Chains A and B, each alone.
Chain A
Amino acid sequence: MTVKSKNVKIHVSHLKKNFGKLEVLKDISTDVYEGEVVVIIGPSGSGKSTFLRCLNRLEDITDGEVIIDGNKITDKKVDINKVRENVGMVFQHFNLFNNLSVLKNLTLAPVDLKKATKEEAKEQAVHMLEKVGLSDKVSAYPSQLSGGQKQRVAIARALCMNPDIMLFDEPTSALDPEMVGEVLNVIKQLAADGMTMVIVTHEIGFAREVADRVIFMDGGYIVEEGTPEEVIKNPREPRTIDFLNKVL
């Protein structure tokens, strides 16, 4: 994948995040360009997920600046709900709405936020389910799906808002090994379609395959970033080398 243009979609400068006295993110700065796939790797507790959750302000930001598509979300006056409509998120534990059918999971937000009429939303939902290979699950309930199916529905749900940016928070960490592939394939397809994505994952092989840029985080800092070739195959920082030795 090559970066198609130089439009900055996500601008982060000197981002800091504390939980009480604990400093989780100490000083993070980076830009994500349109169509770019950025994969964040690093040990547990390094702040990867927190960083991702700051990008749609699921976590309040302690200090620094985050600009999503020109909207400065660190500014309290910005309508965060409007920004979130444009930023899809996929969670480790899927978080499908348990009280709603698969179809309703997909159409709820577009209809509720007046992005589409009921008919349009339904048509799009069916289309998205086809795309993730689950068109036979339209009327199923989340409890009837396997983990891999749930995660694919969750991706389809996020896509139904037609977002410009997708955030993935360890999308395969809660899956049985045999179901990891089906979810990764959907994400790869999205990458091929040119979606701007930030992915937190432990799947190093997947990172190497899909990423335009890999970020290695540790201790609340970005330790090293570059192409998969640079960071995963030829890491320079001792901390990165140490981590990759352990997981590969």
Chain B
Amino acid sequence: MVQIITNYGSLLVRAMGQTLLLALCGLFFACILGVIFGILSVVKNKVCNVIAAIFVGVVRGVPMIVLAFFVFFGIPYLFNNILNVEHDVILTALQAGTICLALNCGAYMSEIIRGGIQAVDIGQTEAARSLGLPYWRTMQRIVLPQAIRIMIPSIINQFIITLKDTSILSVIGFPELVNSAKNVQANTFKAFQTWAIVGIMYLIVITLLSQVSKALERRLDHDREK
């Protein structure tokens, strides 16, 4: 084990860096998609609601690994071989991975956001509207601040799931932790030690994230007591 750490330690740490990079890219766009579709699913407009429902339904109904193959191999094939566009469309593994994570995590985030907004008592909205505040102002000043408190634990949970889901993207060749560990195992033949180290690395990062989440929740509860 010591041998693996001395020989491949820095490689694995760099690979963890790639994992975090991919997760951050994915989460960034997932937040944007989540907010957009979350709001589309709560506004009083049937068309918007249906669009949001289709997005969530499709993404949730397809396994992430299929989504990864579809985006990485399928989309370029569509453009280059079926539609025969002039310039070849090539997606890097990072781009394709980011799209997959953003779609996947974005769909779950939009559900968390919808749930959070709907969990705020309708009386809060009615009180604000009865004072003459317009719909969006009410959302901004009254509903969203309360909804975010409700959402935070679920959102951080979703972040952790997404961080772990980056490992699935080893199948499209992105040099994240699992992919790099496969090479280490192939070079050393020490499967037990390699995967134990990788497991512990994930565990450390996710434990740290959980601690941050707990601290954040405590702070929000503290604010509420104020």
Contacts and interface: CB of A to CB of B under 8 A. Distances in A.
A108 B132 contact: no
A91 B131 contact: no
Given A95-B123, A96-B127, A98-B124, A141 B137 contact: no
Given A95-B123, A97-B124, A98-B146, A89 B130 contact: yes
B126 A97 contact: no
Given A99-B142, A112-B141, A91 B132 contact: no
Contact of A84 (B129, B141, B149, B225): B129
B124 A95 contact: yes
Given A95-B121, A112-B137, A58 B132 contact: no
Nearest to A56: B130
A234 interface: no
A161 B133 CA distance: 11
Interface residues of A, number: 28
Interface in B80-110: none
A16 interface: no
Given A91-B123, A108-B141, A112-B141, A99 B131 contact: no
A58 B126 CA distance: 7
Contacts of B129: 58, 81, 84
A203 interface: no
Contact of B127 (A82, A85, A91, A99): A91
A80 B226 CA distance: 35
Interface in A81-104: 81-85, 87-89, 91, 93, 95-100
A116 interface: no
B126 A95 contact: yes
Interface of A: 56, 58, 81-85, 87-89, 91, 93, 95-100, 108-109, 112-113, 141, 143, 154, 157-158, 161
Interface of B: 121, 123-124, 126-134, 137, 141-142, 145-146, 149, 224-226
